Structure 1
């Protein structure tokens, strides 16, 4: 019997999914893979199958279910420390998500655009006034995303070093399970105290509004609001910061596409969608468990078996996208899977889109001579992390 391939696999090209995934998609689109703990969940690789899987009510995101395929030992150990609506199903998921939905609509995200533009311009001012080369991750990408989510939630930006450290420890494969649990509890205690202070004097921010609208009437507990804050804080800066930096690398490494975007800034919204599809920074798949027997891609999956939706290679499915391995900023693929699909689709996707449009547009306009200060193959890519990106991005102009 052939041993199942280990998952996740390593990329060969920094912008492409591992070539083993393309081979599986072509020859064995639903197949078993082996994880760090020896478990062998099903890996689903074709676009239509992935969408079907993520929308199927018999497929659960509940991390308490036996068979759930955890990405890392630390995330398995800390699963009880953060049990938000994203790890619940059905009515529980809908009820937990409901308080946040009005704050993350496309219309609401547009109201934040001027503030995001202000942040991007201020950080660009500092970048241009500083030394060259500069690390675009530390000097721009991470501060932009952190400032945006801090202002939205009402979290003091001065505490960013603390929540960067604890947030990364919760998901990093480099820390021990005990360290991950300790970090989760440390961050939760911080946010619980912050919500308590907002209860005493709510401000015009998301945590303050949740405290006034949901905690005061007794419809949510302080712990539940703190858990929401933890989820939004970590997801709000880590994914966006990585996407900003990796997107800049991709644009600089595709000069013809970059020139096209400079010539026609109207392409920017569609270009953001194409970069999201092409780069797929969530490169460890969406993890699920089957709650009943079902068939996906012709394969029978039994109740209790783990499942992984490989959205990175699904967004390279040639039956859906012409020349999927080519970055084409005119493509504008609105139905890509970078934000997932189905009921657990990313809540903050509208905000992420606005942030990326503002950030890329600002850099193109204000730093037209932006260039890598080292060859792209010398960058340190985050192959080992839950969210893909670059550790540092030395640039000049």
Structure 2
């Protein structure tokens, strides 16, 4: 097995909120028995967090501050979606200590300092989470690897659905030009431990007679919501009683929709105030439409919902990865516009047998096709191979 005994210094911190931080929670669970991992937070304040220190300790994972890494170190330094890794001097410290560096943006854009680090060989490998994200980021990495003179082009994004260069399905090497260097890449994906999201079959009577519930989980970013939210939910035209729940609310979100009267159907839950799994357990379907400025590089909360038995309704296409997660008609629905969201939501409310079948299908699909431990380990072993 490649690099199974290599030491990893991981420049992130686990958390209950945020795609990359929650991904880190599950990735540690996957890799703790495979690698010698030391978690390196941005500053000492994180080390006051007893919950996550206990979590790391239980996995046999160590931790230290950046300045506590030995002056001569071996192994890999890796960071996911942590802009401070570049701007806070941690990248330079890794290079000076002899660590080889791996970077994953996790987003659909490049972080400040990222392309320069790739260009000058400070970052040895780059990771993607999906082909959609690769389409957006690879032109920038190709420029960095090429060594071409001058500033990078103003826009790196390829058109939605544009072709990718030929190569292996999930790994390859970006060629280096004159004065440049080859840059290996791996699509590492997004591991979720199915055991963290217990399944409850929808379509059965609920305790306390709770009504049919539509909702979503996301970070409190207004761009992640459709322009016609919250009317996009209210115009689903569901039979009464029905309720709407959002986990990921904030003062900024409230300000964006200050003119809307959220009535008794609505439950707007602040980000991080409740655990995600129990919140998902309260939903029957997840309507996960997005704003025009936002492209979803993966869709972690959608898969968490599927594992829980929530039936997802997501946009088809649009430059998102979501239609690669949801099997249309088997474990959810792909929607081309408001009429599709409305039609499928009403079908699921009116037909408990359909809701139950898709609820089971969502869980089975996610476990088999999206959350397989063996497949994810194979990818991570390639990430840390020589």
The TM-score range, normalised by the shorter chain, is under 0.3
Greater relative CO, 1 or 2 (CA 8 Å, sep 6+): 1
TM-score, normalization by structure 1: 0.23
Structure ranking higher in strand proportion: 2
Structure with bigger gyration radius: 2
TM-score, normalization by structure 2: 0.24
